Amino acid sequence: MHEIRLIFLGFGNVGSTLLRQVLETRETVASRAGVQIVPIALADISGVLYNAQGLPEETLRAALQAVASGRLLESLPGVLPLDAIRSALQPGVILADLTASPHTVPILKAALDAGCGLVLANKLPLAAPWEEARIFFEHPKVRWEVTVGAGLPVIATLNYLLDTGDQITAIEGCMSGTLGYLCSELEQEVPYSSAVRRARELGYTEPDPREDLSGMDVARKALILARTAGWPLDQENLAVESLYPRELASLTVDEFLAAIERLDEEYAARRARAWNEGNILRYVARVTPQAGMVGLTPVPRESALGMLRGPGNHFAFYTARYNEIPLVICGPGAGREVTAAGVLGDIIELGRSDIR
């Protein structure tokens, strides 16, 4: 039985769900994959719990209970300063970046230097300027499946196409469940401001919905897909449409939510114009080897993108082999359970590669 020693960098919704899945699937993973996952460190912004031989079961259960009750790891006995995580960086260890932080790159690079593997749920290191991000795309011990499409096998499918010698010509899709929901509401003639507020109430958006409405999260996913395909694009190679004007960027969240009523007429007119032309609005990303675009796009009502409903994701790969009809992946593009399961799959795959 091969042992995978695992570091959790970030222990919020996804991290705690991943730990629960690790504990619940131990027997299945051992029998099917021949590996045993041993959590040796849990870290959040308050500190780290660390045991080189593996954290005791009672410590892991206590950490899960702490997260469930809204507490940080510092509330538990034995927590160490966050910098102590560097002691856990040893050859063969896998570090999972489960944060959404732009500040994890130094520890990620230190992990690679120490001979660790990396599994990234954090998109930001991969969407940094190419010269900073390229180490993660080119290193053989880095995996990043859930950064695009959560639990959908988007990166795995793209790698399959590349590994079998296919030539990718374009990648297109609806890559945000939040903006997919917004478009579905507009389609039903719900005012833009009401749709945004409703999406926030349902938890589809970030607490500040501008983080979704800016289009930057979709742009990061498009960049990650392009770079995985071997196209070293940068942010300036993408044309990104924000779904709110620049002058609303400096408002508080409450002020923003009040101010967007003035956008209702504009988006109603765009919906009506698209409908009268036989189209429907979707927030679409498209990348090619040269450039990309991300924005609200009229698509035929009877097309695959036009028939997409609610917060589902849709990814289409146009290749030398899949030319007239693209290879398509559809499904839920968010959710802590499917995201954590995708991370777990990457951990298992990376751990098994060490056996081979």
Dihedrals φ, ψ of 97, to 5°? -90, 105
Half-sphere exposure of 259 (CA within 13 A, CB side): 14
Please name every residue paired with 307 in a beta bridge, in sequence order, or none if there are none. none
Identify the active-site residue in 109, 123, 141, 221.
221
Could you count the other beta carbons within 10 Å of the beta carbon of residue 125? 24
Assess contact for 350 and 143: CB atoms under 8 A.
yes
**Rounded to whole angstroms, how far apart are CA atoms 161 and 181?**
30
What is the bridge-based pairing of β-strands 168-174 and 117-120?
unpaired
CA quadruple 294, 300, 304, 309: dihedral sign: positive
The rounded radius of gyration (Å) of the Cα atoms in the chain is: 21
**Rounded to whole angstroms, how far apart are CA atoms 258 and 224?**
34
Assess contact for 316 and 169: CB atoms under 8 A.
no
Could you count the other beta carbons within 10 Å of the beta carbon of residue 11? 26
Is 123 marked active-site? no
Single-letter amino acid code for the residue at 161: L
Scanning the chain, the segments in alpha helix (DSSP H) are: 13-24, 26-33, 57-68, 105-113, 124-127, 130-138, 154-163, 177-187, 192-201, 210-213, 216-228, 253-259, 264-276, 336-355
DSSP three-state, residue 167:
coil
What is the bridge-based pairing of β-strands 292-300 and 47-50?
unpaired
Provide the annotated active-site residues: 221
